[in-house]
Amino acid sequence: MDYEEQLDRAMDQKPDIAGSESRFEVPDPELREEGNVTVYENFQSTLSDLGREEDHVLKFLQNELGTSASIDESGRARLTGEFSQRRMSDTLDEYVETYVKCPECGLPDTNLETVEGAERLHCEACGARSSV
Ligand SMILES: [Zn+2]
């Protein structure tokens, strides 16, 4: 690891001080290459941070990255192909923007509910219901 990477890492680990109430930190994906498979090591803890179902997040990643994926016996996601940490992180951000953050108030305190086959976000903070 060179100096710049260490610096990046230090920045990443800096605690979120200002506005931590309203800002939601998407957990950084921890990825490992295994042949032509990218193993998403902290997939389960990411799911619990996001409060979303494994299948839902996995399906989104598959669509966005245009690949196939599965969950292994340890709960890690295995995605076919090589994906950079940056790309995975951007994809996860998109997921959060679409399926976790309330479009009305921006808070992540939401539930995803399915009503008559359509997905909706229900915000516990402001009560807004919005289609996704
Ligand atoms: Zn809201």
55-109, pLDDT tens digit by residue? Answer: 999 999 999 999 999 999 999 999 999 999 999 999 999 999 999 999 999 999 9
Asked if pLDDT for residue 17 goes beyond 50, the answer is no
Cα of 43 vs centre of ligand 1, distance in Å, is 26
**Given this model, what pLDDT does residue 7 score?**
63
Residues flanking ion ligand 1, Cβ below 5 Å: 102, 104-105, 123, 125-126, 128
- pLDDT for 9 equals 63
The pTM of this model reads 0.80
Architecture, CATH, for domain 28-100: 2-Layer Sandwich (3.30)
Domain boundaries, the chain: 28-100, 103-132
Contact 62, 88 (CB under 8 A): no
* Distance from residue 69's CA to the centre of ligand 1 (Å): 32
How far apart, in whole angstroms, are the C-alpha atoms of residue 83 and residue 62? 12
Query: Hey, which bits of the chain come out as E strands?
Result: 31-34, 37-40, 69-71, 77-80, 110-115, 118-123, 129-131
- How many whole angstroms from 111 Cα to the centroid of ligand 1? 11
